[in-house]
Amino acid sequence: MNSLSDFVIVSAMLFGIGVYGLVTKRNALRLLFAVEIMINAANLNFIAFGQYLPFEGSAQTALPNAFGQTFVLFSIALAAAEAAVILAIVVVAYRLHRDVDVSELKSLEG
């Protein structure tokens, strides 16, 4: 549990679980869960690579390897905003259709 490939493998497993959820589930909230899991897999990769791989030119800029962590901070904030919007859409869809099954929401279908 100390080498870089361990974290990459955990991240790959989380991503696979997220893809499975996206393919299988039809409940809008479950889809949100799957997307959040995939976002976390990506964040884990960013932190792991930022912590292990040396950054070119980090000696000159005196900023060791904060880039991965900074990126993940922004990513977490974006994911929170996205979750808020999706939950609002779910509430509206439930109010209009009394259902959150995405295969039933066909009013926008061409």
Partner 1 sequence: MVLTVGSAIVALEAKEIVYGAIGLAGSLFGVAALFFLLDAPYVAVFQIAVYIGAVAVLILFTVMLVREEKWAKEAPATSATKIAGIVTGLAITIALVVAALDTNLDQYTTISNSATFVDIGQLISTGDAPILLVLALVLAASVVGALTLSRADREEPK
Among 49, 67, 64, smallest CA distance to 7 is for 49
**From CA 10, how far away is CA 52, in angstroms rounded?**
16
| Closer Cβ to partner 1, 95 or 106, answer by number | 95
| Closer Cβ to partner 1, 72 or 110, answer by number | 72
Residues 38-67 that bind partner 1 (CB under 8 A): 40, 43-44, 47-48, 50-54, 63-67
Torsion of CA 90, 103, 109, 78, to 10 degrees: 40
Q: Are 4 and 37 in contact (CB under 8 A)?
A: no
Q: Are 86 and 78 in contact (CB under 8 A)?
A: no
| Closer Cβ to partner 1, 61 or 109, answer by number | 61
CB 22 to partner 1: min, Å: 8
**From CA 66, how far away is CA 71, in angstroms rounded?**
9
Per-residue x/- mask for partner 1, residues 70 to 99, rule CB under 8 A?
x-xxx-xxxxxxxxxx-xxxxxx-xxx-xx
Per-residue x/- mask for partner 1, residues 9 to 38, rule CB under 8 A?
xxxxxxxxxxxxx-xxxxx-xx-xxx-xx-
CB 44 to partner 1: min, Å: 6
